[in-house]
Amino acid sequence: MRKSLAVIFFVGVSLLVTSCQREMTPESALRGYVEYRFGEGQSISELLSRTTGPLHERLQEMSEEEFQNFLEMREYRLRRFRVERTSCQDEQKCHLTYLLRYDQFNDNIKTFSVEVRKIAEIVAEGNTWKIADVKDVKTFFDSKEPIEP
């Protein structure tokens, strides 16, 4: 009886541990990056650890003021993130077309909604995937009032 309980316990713990470990994929790297960007408490070191290539270089070249403006996301709330297409040339590089929907607020009042389609270049570095570049493809703004720049 004790042996069977020990085996059941061991199998249960093993299943729990393996189910909690996510495989790092290009999609999960992109999702993590987007969720981090729309979250609070961003830092240059964390963003640099998630990026490589041209995006990494642009982040490193930013002045302190430019970087603080880049981090300012309090007025934006992510509504939807969806990967629409994945195209991998090999096991080292993928392009993901994805859709972001978010709302912009001013003094806790929704001023407009944005839907933007982007293409991200994701590159494998060792055992992790990193964001190398992001390009906007199409942007749609929805507002009941005129949008001022």
Domains, the chain, ordered by start: 23-142 (3.10.450.50)
CA 23 to chain centre: 16
Q: 88: pLDDT confidence band, cut at 50, 70 and 90?
A: very high
Give the pLDDT confidence score for residue 75 in this predicted structure. Answer: 87
Tokens standing for residue 123? 């590159």
Q: Where in the chain does DSSP place strands (E)?
A: 76-88, 93-106, 109-125, 128-142
Q: Which residues contact 109 (CB under 8 A, 6 or more apart)?
A: none
Give the pLDDT confidence score for residue 69 in this predicted structure. Answer: 87
What is the spatial distance between Cα 14 and Cα 144, in angstroms, rounded to a whole number? 53
Q: What is the largest CA-CA distance in the chain?
A: 73
Is the pLDDT higher at 3 or at 92? Answer: 92
Q: Where in 26-92 does DSSP place strands (E)?
A: 76-88
Q: Which of 16-25, 108-117, 128-137 has the highest average model confidence (pLDDT)?
A: 128-137
Give the pLDDT confidence score for residue 78 in this predicted structure. Answer: 93
What is the spatial distance between Cα 149 and Cα 147, in angstroms, rounded to a whole number? 7
Give the pLDDT confidence score for residue 146 in this predicted structure. Answer: 76
SS3 105: strand
Quote the pTM value.
0.78
Give the pLDDT confidence score for residue 137 in this predicted structure. Answer: 96
Overall average pLDDT of the 93-118 stretch: 92
Q: 7: pLDDT confidence band, cut at 50, 70 and 90?
A: very low
Q: 149: pLDDT confidence band, cut at 50, 70 and 90?
A: low
For the chain, the first-to-last Cα distance in angstroms comes to: 72
What is the spatial distance between Cα 53 and Cα 102, in angstroms, rounded to a whole number? 26
Buried b (16+ CB within 10 A) or exposed e, 114-132: beebbbbbbbbeeeebbbb
Task: Evaluate if residue 13 carries a pLDDT over 50.
Answer: no
Q: 70: pLDDT confidence band, cut at 50, 70 and 90?
A: confident
